[in-house]
Amino acid sequence: MKKIAVFTSGGDSPGMNACIRSVVRSAIYMDIDVYGIKYGYDGMIRGEIEKMGSNSVSNIVQTGGTILKSARSEEFRTKEGRKKAYENLKKHGIEGIVAIGGDGTFTGANLFYDEFGIPVVGAPGTIDNDLFGSDYTIGFDTAVNTALDAIDKIRDTAASHDRVFFIEVMGRHSGYIAIQSGIGGGAEMVMVPETSTTIDDVISKLREGRDNKKGSSIVVVAEGDAQGSAHEIAERVKVHTPNMDIKVTNLGHIQRGGGPTAFDRILASRLGLAAVEGLLNGQKGVMVGIIDNKVTYTNLKLAISKSKPLNQELIRLTDILSI
C-alpha cells in the first residue's frame, strides 16, 4: 500500500485534528503518500481530495474542530453517490482510508467497504463515547471537562440563590458525559438514557435534599433521557415544587468545541498511528480502539451494532454520593 486518505465526518469532536496530524505524519514516516478528503463523504463524491505533507498538519494538535471540515452527505446514502466516491479515490490511486468519526461515519464506511472492497480503518471520534470497541473515544474527555467547568460555575450561582439547576448535556443515546460530569461536579442527581428515572424520583430527591438542609441542587440531564429535555423535566417538577427556585441551562454545542485535553491529544495520536499501521498490516473494515490501554481492532459491524453499557459502578457511585 503506497497511497492512503484520511477524512472526518459527522459531528466534530476535540482531538480530531490531533488524529489527522498523527495519520499524516505516521504515513509519511512509513513512506506512504497521504491525501486529505475535505467535507467527509460529500467531499469524496465531489473529488475534494488533496495530497498532504508534514507541514499540512503543523500547529493543529492543540486546536478543536477539524481542518478537513465535516458534513453530512445525503448523496452518499445512494449507490450512485458511493460509486462516484469510489471512482474519485481510484483516480488518485488511493488504496486505503482512515475514517475519523462516529456511528454514522462508520455505518457509511462499512457499507462502502462491503460494496467496493477498499480497506477502511475507522478511528472513533465522537464526544458521546458510545462506540463498542474502545474504552474512550476522541473528544469525550474534553467534552466532560467542558461540561464540568460549566457545572462548577453554575453551582456557584445556585448556591448563592438557593436554586435548583437542571443542566442538559449532550448524549442522545449515551449517558457517559452526564454521568462523569455529574460525579465530578457533585450533582445531586444524574438522568441518563440507560437508566429509568421518573419525575417522582426527581421530586423525591430534591425534597430529601431540602429536608437535609441543602440550599441548592444540581440535576444533570443527558439530552436523550426518556423523560425528555431538561426544560421539559424542570417544567413538570415545578408543578409539584412551587417553593423551589428552578432554573435550566442547556450546555449545547460548547461541549464539542475548544482545545482538546492532554488525554484526548494522546489518545487521538495513538489511534491515528494504529489506524495507519492497521492498513499496512492488512486490517480492513475495522475500527481501531484502546481497551485496557492496548490497541485493538474491532469489526465495524460490531462497533456500530453492539451497545456499550454504562459502568454500573459509576451509577452506584452517583447514588451513594448524592445523599
Residue 137 has pLDDT above 90, yes or no: yes
pLDDT at residue 6, as a whole number: 98
Q: Select the highest-mean-pLDDT range: 71-75, 88-92, 210-214.
A: 88-92
Is 258 annotated in some ligand binding site?
no
Looking at the chain, the whole-number percentage of residues with pLDDT higher than 70 is 100
List strands edge to edge, sheet with 163-169: 189-191, 217-222, 163-169, 245-250
9 annotated ligand-binding residue? no
Query: Across the chain, what does the average pLDDT equal?
Result: 96
- Rounded CA-CA distance 3/295 in Å is 23
CA–CA dist 275, 283 (Å, integer)? 9
In this prediction, residue 323 carries a pLDDT of: 79
Q: Residue range 125-146: average pLDDT?
A: 98
Q: Could you report the per-residue pLDDT of 269-282, keeping only the tens digit for each?
A: 999 999 999 999 99
Cβ partners under 8 Å of residue 13, min gap 6: 102, 125, 126, 127, 137, 138, 139, 140, 142, 143, 256
**Residue 288 in marked binding region:** no
215 is in an annotated binding site: yes
What pLDDT was estimated at residue 174? 94
Is 25 annotated to bind ligand? yes
pLDDT of residue 72: 87
Q: What is the mean pLDDT of residues 37-46?
A: 98
pLDDT digit string (tens) for 282-322?
A: 999 999 999 999 999 999 999 999 999 998 899 899 889 98
pLDDT computed for residue 216 by the predictor: 94
pLDDT at residue 322, rounded to an integer: 83
Q: Are 131 and 285 in contact (CB under 8 A)?
A: no
pLDDT at 264: 98
186 is in an annotated binding site: yes
> The whole model's pTM is what?
0.96
Q: Which residues are catalytic?
A: 128
Computed on alpha carbons and rounded to an integer, the radius of gyration of the chain in Å comes to: 22
Is 11 a known ligand-binding residue? yes
Q: Are 291 and 134 in contact (CB under 8 A)?
A: yes
Q: Over range 213-227, report the average pLDDT.
A: 95
Question: pLDDT tens digit string along 98-130?
Answer: 999 999 999 999 999 999 999 999 999 999 999
The CA angle 112-114-115, to the nearest 5 degrees, is 65
Question: Pick from 16, 165, 170, 195: which is nearest to 105 by CA?
Answer: 16
| C-alpha distances out from residue 182 to 28, 53, 98, 220, 248, Å | 42, 42, 34, 6, 15
pLDDT digits (tens, 9 = 90+) for 123-134: 999 999 999 999
Give me the mean pLDDT over the 176-200 stretch: 96
User: 80 vs 41, 45, 72, CA distance in Å?
Assistant: 13, 10, 16
Other CB atoms within 10 A of residue 65 CB: 18
The answer to whether 20 and 66 are in contact (CB under 8 A) is yes
Q: Annotation-wise, does 257 bind a ligand?
A: no
Q: Is 253 annotated as a binding residue?
A: yes
Determine if residue 139 is labeled as part of a ligand binding site: no
